[in-house]
Structure 1
Amino acid sequence: MADEKPHCKVVLANNIAKGLFEEVHEGLKKIDRMPLLVGFLSSADPAARVYAEWTGKTASENGFAFELREVDRELLEDALIDANNDPKVDGIIVYYPIFGNRQDQYLQQILDISKDVEGLSHRYIFNMYQNIRFLDPENTKKSILPCTPLAVIKILEYLRIYNTILPYGNRLYGRTITVINRSEVVGRPLAALLANDGARVYSVDINDVQQFDRGQGLRKRRHEVTERPGWTLKDCLPLSDVVISGVPGDKYKVPLELLRDGAVCINFSSEKNFTPEVKEKASIYVPAIGKVTIAVLLRNLLRIVQNKIDSAAEESNKGSKDEAVQATS
Structure 2
Amino acid sequence: MCSTNFRKTPSASASPLQTREPATAHTSIARQPPNFYAMATPAARTNCKVILAGTIAKGLLAEVADGLSKLAEKPKLVGFLANEDPAAHMYADWSAKTCRENGFDFDLRVVSKADIEESILSANNDPTIHGIIVYYPIYPATSRQDSYIQQLVSLSKDVEGLTHRYVFNMYQNIRFLDPPKNEQKSILPCTPLAVVKVLEYLQIYNSILPYGNRLFGKTITVINRSEVVGRPLAALLANDGAKVYSVDLDGVQMFTRGQGITKYHHEVHPQDPSFKLENCLPLSDVVISGVPGKTYKVDTNLIRDGAVCINFSSDKNFDSDAVKQKASIYVPAIGKVTIAVLLRNLLRLVQNQKASAVVAADQEVAGQREG
Q: Which residue of 1 aligns with 2:353?
A: 308
What SS class does the counterpart of residue 355 from structure 2 fall into? Answer: helix
Superposition CA RMSD, Å: 1.4
Q: Which residue of 1 aligns with 2:90?
A: 50
Q: Which residue of 1 aligns with 2:307?
A: 263
Decide which of 248, 256, 262 is 1:213's aligned counterpart: 256
Deviation, structure 1 residue 315: 2.7
Q: Which residue of 2 aligns with 1:238?
A: 282
Q: For 1:307 and 1:146, how far apart are their aligned partners in 2? A: 16
Decide which of 141, 154, 159 is 1:112's aligned counterpart: 154
Give yes or no for contact 1:177–1:242 (8 Å, CA) kept in 2.
yes
What SS class does the counterpart of residue 261 from structure 2 fall into? Answer: coil
Q: Write the mapping of 1:1-329 to structure 2, written as runs, cut at 5 A.
A: 7-100=47-140, 101-137=143-179, 138-229=181-272, 230-276=274-320, 277-320=322-365
1:165-198 CA distance string (max 9 Å, x none): 1111000000000000000010000000000000
Q: For 2:196 and 2:134, how far apart are their aligned partners in 1? A: 22
Give yes or no for contact 1:267–1:288 (8 Å, CA) kept in 2.
yes
Deviation, structure 1 residue 6: 5.8
Q: For 1:174 and 1:313, how far apart are their aligned partners in 2? A: 42
Deviation, structure 1 residue 207: 2.4
What SS class does the counterpart of residue 80 from structure 2 fall into? Answer: strand
Deviation, structure 1 residue 41: 0.6
Q: For 2:123 and 2:133, how far apart are their aligned partners in 1? A: 11
Deviation, structure 1 residue 314: 2.7
Give yes or no for contact 1:176–1:241 (8 Å, CA) kept in 2.
yes
Amino acid of the residue matched to residue 136 of structure 1? D
Deviation, structure 1 residue 113: 0.5
Q: For 2:291 and 2:47, how far apart are their aligned partners in 1? A: 26
Give yes or no for contact 1:6–1:279 (8 Å, CA) kept in 2.
no
Deviation, structure 1 residue 8: 0.3
Question: Structure 2 unaligned runs (5+)?
Answer: 1-44
Give yes or no for contact 2:172–2:265 (8 Å, CA) kept in 1.
yes
Q: For 1:106 and 1:200, how far apart are their aligned partners in 2? A: 32
Deviation, structure 1 residue 74: 2.0
1:55-97 CA distance string (max 9 Å, x none): 1010000010000000111221111111111111110001111
Q: TM-score, normalised by structure 1?
A: 0.95
Give yes or no for contact 2:224–2:247 (8 Å, CA) kept in 1.
yes
Q: For 2:110 and 2:210, how far apart are their aligned partners in 1? A: 45
Deviation, structure 1 residue 147: 0.3
Instruction: Report percent identity of matched pairs.
Output: 66
Q: TM-score, normalised by structure 2?
A: 0.84
Q: For 1:96 and 1:322, how far apart are their aligned partners in 2? A: 43
Q: For 1:216 and 1:87, how far apart are their aligned partners in 2? A: 46
Give yes or no for contact 1:134–1:141 (8 Å, CA) kept in 2.
yes
Q: For 1:21 and 1:163, how far apart are their aligned partners in 2? A: 23
Give yes or no for contact 2:46–2:306 (8 Å, CA) kept in 1.
no
What SS class does the counterpart of residue 214 from structure 2 fall into? Answer: coil
Deviation, structure 1 residue 216: 3.9
1:31-56 CA distance string (max 9 Å, x none): 10011100011111111111101110
Deviation, structure 1 residue 325: 6.9
Count matched residues. Answer: 322
Q: For 1:150 and 1:59, how far apart are their aligned partners in 2? A: 18
Q: For 2:259 and 2:305, how far apart are their aligned partners in 1? A: 26
Amino acid of the residue matched to residue 146 of structure 2? D
Amino acid of the residue matched to residue 95 of structure 1? Y
> In proportion to residue count, which structure has more helix?
1
- Segments ≥4 residues shifted beyond 4 Å: 320-326
Give yes or no for contact 1:41–1:68 (8 Å, CA) kept in 2.
yes
Question: Structure 1 unaligned runs (5+)?
Answer: none
Q: For 1:259 and 1:21, how far apart are their aligned partners in 2? A: 32
Q: For 2:125 and 2:360, how far apart are their aligned partners in 1? A: 20
Amino acid of the residue matched to residue 191 of structure 2? T
Q: For 2:330 and 2:134, how far apart are their aligned partners in 1? A: 30
Give yes or no for contact 2:183–2:355 (8 Å, CA) kept in 1.
no
Q: For 1:141 and 1:174, how far apart are their aligned partners in 2? A: 31
Question: Which structure has more RCO (C-alpha within 8 Å, separation ≥ 6)?
Answer: 2
Which moved further from structure 2: 267-276 or 70-79? Answer: 70-79
Q: For 2:227 and 2:144, how far apart are their aligned partners in 1? A: 11
What SS class does the counterpart of residue 304 from structure 2 fall into? Answer: coil
